[in-house]
Amino acid sequence: MIKFLNQYIPLRKPFFFLFESLFIISMIVLAIVLRFSDNFVNYLGHGMVFKSLIITISIQLSLYYFDMYELKIFQNNFELIIRLLQSIGIASIVLAILYYVFPDLIIGRGVFFISLVLITTLLILWRLLYNYINKSERLDQRVMILGTGLFADNIIKKINEKIDSGFKIAGLIIKDKKELSSKKVDDLIISNYSDMLETCIKEKIDRIIVALDDKRGAFPIYELLACKMKGIIIQEGTKFYNKFTGQLPIESLKPSFIIFSEGFHQSKITLWMKNTIDFVLALTGLIFASLFILIVPVLIKLESRGSIFYKQERMGKNGKVFKLIKFRTMVENAEANGPVWAQKNDLRVTRIGRFLRKSRIDEIPQIINVLKGDMSFVGPRPERPFFIEQLNRQIPFYNQRLIVKPGITGWAQIKYSYGASKEDAMEKLKYDLYYIDNLSILFDLVIIFETVKVVLFGKGAQ
């Protein structure tokens, strides 16, 4: 059973989410049985399916926004229990408000109370069990890395950094022991090409990741084929890194990957749908943001002199330069001495500006840029021509992010905290290229959904 689950680690989170959906619904049905055992069938006919879904969605949204679907291992069970109780408590408050506004959605006080007790108790027990299994590493795939260069090191680092990655580095496959002269491998299994199959069978290896910096030399094709025939997963390193991290490894990325990738292609239908959704969301956003548009200018003026809006040249799709519009968050003439990166705790930021940045309210005027067609709701953040010129010379593939419209939010914005350096720009580019490679309407909706969580908890903004 564990061997079967090991093969589907990339789907662990969706399976987990679906399982808990069915689990919560089952607890509600059980509550109905306990409360109305004599008239169970008739009670189900009173819109119970829809009412049960409302409860399930509310609880799972709350779990999601409390990061309970990150599936990380909680070192302290007390913390796990508290987070679960907070999630269910918030869900209960949301449902109480919903029932007050729409009384017809009430499932019944007795049923709601019983189901809440059942869900809370059994969800805590289930999560404690899952946490215990995770700590035991029984569900982790045992992985061998073919290669010892920079790319291999990067993959090992990413796996070791991620709690509950689903993978455990068991060892390295090498051509020559000279490759290990400068590496510490005391706790790793070492296998030569010639005894690869024997070692993998003996050590119960589930997957081999091919992470050679240069495949033009001797390549163990027949040894890998033999392992493949024994049921061991063989995966190319770039594709593994791509799916595992949500990034593209630009340090070791070859132009051939982009050339032959099924991504980096924008169909006319996808672009039309994306533009249509942008236009509808922009109009809707202006209506909902009208209160901020009236109040924020007053607050800005009360604290500092200068304009309400801040307009700055940014580079968009295909290198087109446009004027980005934001609420001003810095003192007037903050860049009188020339362009500089915004820094953490930047002294040029005003008090109201700090709040606007933290809450992302300063981004609201960019809806106008979306309506004008210069930006999309989702895409790489637009950068200034001055910095793009510098970064193009320093970072490989940086110019590729200009093949799509820049966005108000993006994959890099929700996955990587605020940064203001070349290194930060490189990390964000990895996410931007992954987004472009996997561009779709569904992916955009996922990013918008995640952005709501980032805004609510004030992550990433400076």
Q: How far, in Å, CA of 249 to CA of 151, rounded?
A: 8
| Mean of all residue pLDDT scores within the chain | 84
pLDDT value at 255 more than 50: yes
List the single range of 295-299, 382-386, 455-459 with lowest mean pLDDT: 455-459
Indicate the pLDDT class of residue 422, thresholds 50, 70 and 90: confident
Residue 218 burial (CB < 10 Å; 0-12/13-18/19+)?
exposed
In this prediction, residue 462 carries a pLDDT of 47
Write the pLDDT tens digit of every residue in 211-244: 987 766 678 899 999 999 999 999 999 989 998 8
The model carries a pTM of 0.81
Q: Is the pLDDT of residue 5 over 50?
A: no
Tell me the per-residue pLDDT of 332-341, one tens digit each, with 9 for 90 and over: 766 655 556 5
pLDDT at 318 over 80: yes
Q: At what angle do helices 422-437 and 385-394 cross, to 10 degrees?
A: 90
Give the rounded distance of the alpha carbon of 322 from its chain centre: 29
Q: How confident is the model at residue 6 (pLDDT cuts 50, 70, 90)?
A: very low
**Predicted pLDDT of residue 78:** 87
DSSP for residue 264: S
What are the C-alpha distances in Å from 220 to residues 48, 144, 173, 231, 235?
59, 14, 10, 17, 14
Provide mean pLDDT across the span 21-45. 79
Domain with CATH 3.40.50.720 in the chain: 141-245
86 versus 14: the higher-pLDDT residue is 86
Q: CA–CA separation, 227 vs 233, rounded Å?
A: 8
12 or 175: which leads in pLDDT: 175
- What CATH number matches the domain at 141-245, 3.40.50.720, 3.40.50.11540, 3.30.70.260, 3.40.225.10? 3.40.50.720
At 191 the three-state DSSP class reads strand
For residue 366, name the pLDDT band (cuts at 50, 70, 90): very high
Query: What is the sign of the dihedral through the CA atoms of 56, 57, 62 and 68?
Result: positive
Q: What is the pLDDT of residue 119?
A: 93
- The pLDDT, as a whole number, for residue 215 is 66
